[in-house]
A and B are shown apart, each in its own frame.
Chain A
Amino acid sequence: MTDYEAVIGIETHVELMTDSKMFCGCPVKFGEPPNTTTCPVCLGLPGALPVPNSEAIEGILQIGTALGCQVADTSFFHRKNYFYPDLPKNYQISQYDVPICHDGEIQVEVDGEDTKIGITRVHMEEDTGKSIHVGGGGRIHDAEYSLLDFNRSGVPLVEIVTEPDIRSAEQARAYGAELQRIVRTLGVSDARLEEGSMRFDANVSIRPAGAAELGTRAEVKNVNSLRSLQRAVAFEIHRQIELVESGGVVVQETRHWNEDSGKTTSMRSKEESEDYRYFQEPDLVPIEVSAAWRDAVREALPELPAARRARYQGLGVDARVAAVLVGSEDAIGDLFEGAMNAGGDGRLIGNWLSGEAVAWSRAEEVAIGDTPLVPAHLVELAEMVGDSTLSASAAKQVLAGVLAGEGTPGEVAESRDLIQISDSSVIEAEVDAVLAGHADAVASIQAGDNKPFGFLVGQVMRATGGKADPKQVSDLIRAKTGG
């Protein structure tokens, strides 16, 4: 049987959260009543003309720069011609042969392996309106009637296209997640997949491992979460391999991902490829980006996720933990940043947040951002471990108590009775009692068999209700048994 290699490229659309739309003054707002944030321009009325929004150009420059792209001094808008009822002018103002940004990359990590995903281009366009097809199968062809909402029409849209550098469904997801983090870090979009402000289309093909030429690709649409991106790509790779193995041929087509069935189905064949008759938009002048503008955008970029992860690793946080801290929930990262600014222990606090806090949040189904936990709590908790007020395991219990709203770490440690016994004579008495009760174990150790040592430490810990310092207990047992 042949070994296959998947070749995947991803096109991502990101809606920018500018004050106004791409080519008119209408506000960019979601959830408004249908067709209330519209004007002659975004309704494509006769005589209306587009005027570009410089805030949107600034937004795309930020994205392109964050992806390490080259910025074109002069780029152009083109008209992409196709008829569809939610496209008011029946052409979309987009970019064609000269995009505003090109040739960048994103580095993603899957199972400890880093891969560079090339970014072919980042270009600016306008969003379409929204169709709601009523009746039939919910598609335009068999609908009883269709409703149109042009509130979204003309919202600035950035398209980010990768090179076919992605080789697995896991990498596809990692790419999507990292791009989402970058866009959110820039603050240019809320990048919500479920609301459509970030949308992925994946081009998937397979070829025999090691082959140089690309296989025929299918374009997978309707991917509404990172998880479904991974699932859809995995399904599509599997489908294509099975098809080829059973003597079939992959056709170039658009396929629709169905979240419920977990399958992709054919939407339309691209054998007769659509001719969009691109030509330069005569209603607009070229986009000129000066060197000064370019430099200003570069200098104003915030710390990007990759740099932030590296900085955390510099604070003693391991790579896996750093990835979680810079992950999708902002609250975790903010708590960590706050605790670091207050001088907390990076390794300890990072582990708590990425481990216990995340686990607690999942189990309790409460977002960490919705708990009373503040950075000062984490710093206090780390200090309590540092000065042996709490054992490591007790600290985790205290954290759970703080998350549950039981109070500050000091209060929780007190109320849950978790503070370590600091009086060494008390511990020594407990050690003596345990040793006296297990003379055979002591004898074994003295005879050179160290196996029961851990058992004895455990017995003392148990007797002290976990509040003894295990190291102190070990030291005492060793001294008294010669183990």
Chain B
Amino acid sequence: MSDPADLTIAAAGAKLRSGELSSVDLTEAVLERARMSESHLHAYLTLDQTGAREKATAADAALAAGDDRGPLHGIPIALKDNMCTKGIETTASSQILAGWIPPYDATVVSRLQAAGSVLVGKTNLDEFAMGSSTENSAYGATRNPWNTDTVPGGSSGGSAAAVATGSALAALGSDTGGSIRQPAALCGVVGVKPTYGLVSRYGLIAFASSLDQIGPFTRSVEDSAVLLEAIAGHDIHDATSIRGEIPNFRGSLHHGVAGLKIGVIKELSGPEIDPEVRTSVSKMHDALADAGAEVTEVSLPSCEYGLSAYYLIAPAECSANLARFDGVRFGLRSEGATTEEMMAATRAEGFGPEVIRRILLGTYALSAGYYDAFYGQAQRVRTLIRQQFAAAYEGVDVLVAPTSPTTAFEIGAKTDDPIAMYYADVCTIPINLTGDPGASIPIGLDSADLPIGYQVMAPSLGEERMFQVAQAVEDIANFTARAPLATSEVVSP
């Protein structure tokens, strides 16, 4: 029998119910994988071994007693460390929250608990989710399990690396400009950013409120659908959460793509995309056409301005969202002669350079005299992008593009060049601005054996169609390679 840590949620669920496997066995396998890999990867900030074992034991007892909470029952899942967990340190990878233990659970955490899942731990991220490489963590970078000299992507790099490695069967991340899809692509796993408002943000430490959305990392499209079903749905604690019934995302999973209209985004197909990525993605377009889809090229000229608009809107929102970290009520407090000096010292010491850069950028963009030229203009661009995507979806069912312009880059390669780093999000940012859903599916490896991700986007609340196409992509790609670190041969140093 293969190592349980390598199972999908669906496969593990079947074994748990047939009695072939217990949640305790599964959890121990995952913890063992973490024990072997963490010194190489640093995917986790907190590994809650005791809590995980207790929950696994309880899950087994409940299942034995006939209390089956559904497909996530007994499944070990990791959480990005920007989601509040009652009683478990939550830092968002920032010094300013070192040692902070939330007095409440994020809504997604309560929902995962109600679904009987087992929380393995809290994963590393770029500080406050600001970054594309998980190098901006106050607690050290996470490495890519395919090649530990490269980054796992970001900001949810810890979650992506954990799922790719097998130190969790699935994980949650948050996606503000690509922070789920891009690391999913770089780590060779499936990552989904749902429609804005589909998953409650209550308890997610905000980066940019109008863009942030929680979503799953899994090893299969089906698993992502399962995990999303468990966490989606209206929440009275989030005024922006969408009301209405959550559809069964697995309903049309295997319906294929015959007759579907697929639009290839022209502006994300050019020379700005790495040739190997472009070739691989282009082959998938052809394969989808061979499978019966009507594949056409769609031009979305405003895409070009998405990055600029994003890097005004997100910092502007973050400049206010992060104002609460002032040393007064929680977290780090530095010394200062006056209250203002204490606040300033706390923030100067507690925040890392990228966070400070974005706070300054956002403060500037919102300032009197600059608001119209920067924040106001960015909002107008956002409206334009929304209109162009909505118009495109009148002609096609889904849009496709690479998830990332490159495969995983070397650690340190872009840390001194913020603009180059920001460019890593060029393919993912547009649908954060529109609020539409998108998924990244691994479709192959480049010549350096690094994974390539394929992005499927759908109109608002079009998750069923998105999963249907994503499943077809997964079936065609038949991506079975596993990261070198996700094997039992690795020996801890």
**Cβ-defined partner of A83 (8 Å) among B106, B210, B240, B323:** B323
Q: Spot the interface stretch: B132-140, B197-205, B282-290, B444-452.
A: B197-205
Taking the closest CB of chain A, its distance from the CB of B332, in whole angstroms, is 13
Across-interface contacts of B324 in A (CB, < 8 A): 44-46, 88-90
Interchain CB contact under 8 A, B366 and A277: yes
A interface, how many residues as a size bin? Answer: 20 to 34
A422 to B317, CA, bound (A): 86
Residues of A within 8 A of B (CB): 40, 43-52, 79, 81, 83, 85, 88-91, 140-141, 146, 148, 275, 277-279, 282-285
- Identify A88's interface contact among B316, B329, B343, B367, CB under 8 A: B329
A83–B329 touching, CB < 8 Å: no
What is the 8 Å Cβ interface bit string for chain B, positions 207-220, against chain A (1 contact, 0 not)? 01110000000000
- Give the contacting residue for B375; candidates A51, A85, A279; CB below 8 A: A279
Interface residues of B in 300-354 (CB under 8 A from A): 316-317, 319-320, 323-326, 328-330, 338-340, 343
From the candidates A85, A90, A284, name the one contacting B323 in the complex (CB within 8 A): A90
- State the Cβ distance, B382 to closest chain A Cβ, in Å: 12
Residues of B near any A CB (own CB < 8 A) = 82-84, 90, 92, 97, 100, 102-104, 106, 201-206, 208-210, 236-240, 316-317, 319-320, 323-326, 328-330, 338-340, 343, 363, 366-368, 371, 375
Question: Nearest-CB distance from B365 to chain A (Å)?
Answer: 9
Tell me whether A279 and B320 are in contact (CB under 8 A). yes
A48 to B104, CA, bound (A): 9
> What are 17 contact pairs spanning A and B, CB under 8 A?
A46-B100, A46-B324, A47-B82, A47-B102, A48-B203, A81-B366, A83-B323, A83-B326, A89-B320, A90-B323, A91-B323, A140-B339, A278-B366, A279-B375, A282-B240, A282-B317, A284-B239
Docked pose: A321 CA to B317 CA in angstroms: 56
Give chain B's interface secondary structure class: loop
A141 x B368 contact (CB < 8 A) = no
The chain A residue sitting closest to B211, CB to CB, is: A282
Query: Does A49 contact B328, Cβ atoms closer than 8 Å?
Result: no
Apart from A83-B343, A282-B240, what 7 extra A-B contacts exist at CB < 8 Å? A46-B90, A83-B340, A85-B343, A89-B324, A90-B323, A279-B375, A284-B240
10 A-B pairs closest in CB distance = A90-B323, A282-B210, A282-B209, A277-B366, A47-B203, A46-B205, A47-B84, A275-B368, A44-B324, A89-B324
- Give min CB distance, A450 to chain B, whole Å: 81
A contacts with B: majority SS: loop
A283 close to B240 (CB less than 8 A): yes
User: Which residues of chain B are near A45, meaning CB under 8 Å?
Assistant: 84, 102-104, 324, 329-330
B206 and A47 contacting across the interface, CB-CB below 8 Å: yes
Contact among A91, A146, A279, A283 with B316 in the assembled complex (CB-CB below 8 Å)? A279
Q: Identify the closest chain A residue to B327 (Cβ).
A: A85
Residues of B within 8 A of A49 (CB): 201-202, 237-239
Interface contact A51-B236, CB-CB below 8 Å: yes
Q: When A79-B320, A90-B323, A275-B368 are in contact, do A40 and B104 touch as well, CB less than 8 Å?
A: yes
B203 cross-chain contacts in A, Cβ below 8 A: 47-48
Query: How distant is A280 from chain B, measured CB to nearest CB, in Å?
Result: 9
Q: How many Å lie between the Cα of A85 and that of B100 in the bound state?
A: 19
| Contact B239–A285 (Cβ < 8 Å) | yes
Q: A47, B239: Cβ atoms under 8 Å?
A: no
